[in-house]
Amino acid sequence: MSTIIHKKIPTYYNFAGGEWSESTSKELIESFNPATGELVSYSQKSTIQDVSQIIESVQHSFLTSDWSMNPKRRYEALHSLAEKMTEKLEHLALILTMDQGKTIRESRIELSGCIDTLKYFAGAARSVFGRSMQLEPDNFGVVVKEPVGVVGIISPWNWPALLMIRELAPALAAGNGVLVKPASLTPSISVEIFKLIAEIPHFPKGIVSIVTGPGKSIGAAMAASDKIDMISFTGDTSTGKSIIEMGAGNVKKVALELGGKSPNVVFEDANLDKAVPVIGRSIFISAGQICMAGSRVVIHESIKDEVVKRLKEYAEQLRVENGLLETADMGPLVSQSQLDLVEEYCEIGRKEGRIITGGYRKTGETYDQGFYFTPTIIDGLMAGSRVVKEEIFGPVLAVQTFSTEKEALHIANDSDFGLSAGVWTSDLNRAVRMSKGIKAGTVWINTYNKNFPETEFGGYKQSGLGRTRGVDGLMEYCETKHVHIEM
Ligand code: NAD
């Protein structure tokens, strides 16, 4: 069945073999602006047949071009993309906000993060070092790093530009061929970035491709394909588990960046003037739709009332509105189903605890067509409540209290997730003890959400497998080979 196309709305195509192509299904996916409900783009509803052909074209390019052996070419290609994205930043920011709903200010931050990441990994492409060593008087060992081969990158909708580039840049820097599948809710920004890739002659034809379509069919086909050597997946923990199962057929390498339920632990000696706005931002940025959201605040009992009062004030002064407005602090949620989910958790919070602020959908003439929710704080929940345990992926902060450092550590770690945590204290010894005790891939001391391409990011426990960013992030996309020489 073909879709009825509105001519003014952009239609995005797959990019493979260095060319733009339509899906054999002739069907399109419609994407809507979460702030207004308006149609913003069409993209290809690709089939398993499309994906198989595209995977073959990436593999062909990987095997026949000089990409894997030419670090300087990789440097030029990634650097050129960074430059093109810099030129187009405002245009891309508009697309990102209309695609995803986030504020325009946040879109600029996300895109600047992409540019920084591309520049870092452009340089890293020329520094994929192995090592060499004398092993015996006549035995010499050389350990070399080689690309894995064809990498499938499956990305989510919440930070669709950066979470794609965060994987694309190191995968390409290491010399792999790459096929990206963006989330169906937010394909526009990814394909817009591929329009820039298409203009860069340093990329061999077909080495980097994009296919759009449903995760359950084409994402799964990528995960199961024996022509894909590695899947880099960012998304929900349950999907991540199924990716591991699907990839088992060819013992595929898998890197997973999954969910979180991260705590901010606030001790009685914390600088609250600094802590409160950062903690507030850590949960309300992206309307809470961010893997590292500080979705639990764990407060020493002696300062609990004061911290909650200040967080309530912070939440209530946020301007929730269409992200295209420069004044917006928080945009809408990404979809109706995300809105329903957040409402459901707030209902649980209302029954099991006490809503301090928010807890409802924002309605009114300018809000009704979008998926707006109020910044929400919930107190008085038991440790086993679903609101405390599960990732909500919305602007909902759960308050927990402790009386001793030991209890604070126990509460911080009382989660199936282990993505990130914040510790707020002016006692350096305590900060170090907490950072050692917390089971999470990132621990921020007296700050939160500070991310750099140089520093590794990833999850303990059910928050993921492997690391992205930094040296380990580059090595994730490499195989290790020992070449042994006997003289
Ligand atoms: P999701 O798992 O629903 O989808 C992610 C991607 O996987 C999409 O492209 C989707 O189409 C695809 N997909 C869905 N089902 C699939 C299947 N069966 N096989 C293969 N691919 C499939 O996740 P989402 O809702 O897009 O993103 C939100 C989740 O992502 C949250 O849990 C969040 O914490 C997590 N996340 C983690 C990080 C991190 O760095 N750890 C970053 C951002 C988001």
User: What's the gap in Å between 383 CA and the centre of ligand 1?
Assistant: 26
Residues with CB under 6 A from ligand 1: 154-158, 163, 181, 183-184, 215-216, 219-220, 223, 234-236, 239, 242-243, 257-260, 291, 391, 393, 419, 459, 464
- Render pLDDT for 436-474 as a digit per residue (tens, 0 to 9): 999 999 999 999 999 999 999 999 999 999 999 999 999
Note the pLDDT tens digit of each residue in 399-446.
999 999 999 999 999 999 999 999 999 999 999 999 999 999 999 999
**Model-wide pTM > 0.95:** yes
Is 347 part of the annotated catalytic residue set?
Answer: no
N-terminal to C-terminal alpha carbon distance within the chain: 67
**Site of tokens 């580059």:** 474
CB distance 398 to 308 below 8 Å: no
- DSSP characters for 81-119? HHHHHHHTHHHHHHHHHHHH---HHHHHHHHHHHHHHHH
Q: What is the average pLDDT score of the chain?
A: 97
- State the distance from the centre of ligand 1 to the C-alpha of 238, rounded, in angstroms: 9
Token pair listed for 373:
């929710």
What's the 431 CA to ligand 1 centre distance in angstroms? 32
Residue given tokens 């605040």 in the structure block: 297
Report the nearest-CA residue for atom 43 of ligand 1. 291
Tell me which H or E stretch contains 151: strand 150-154
**3-state DSSP assignment of residue 123:** helix
Residue 305 three-state SS:
helix
Q: How far is CA 277 from CA 274, 332, 360, 420, 451, in A?
A: 6, 20, 22, 18, 18
What ipTM was assigned to the predicted interfaces of this complex? 0.95
pLDDT tens by residue, 328-367: 999 999 999 999 999 999 999 999 999 999 999 999 988 9
Structure tokens at 126: 């020329």
Q: Hey, whose CA ends up nearest to atom 17 of ligand 1?
A: 216
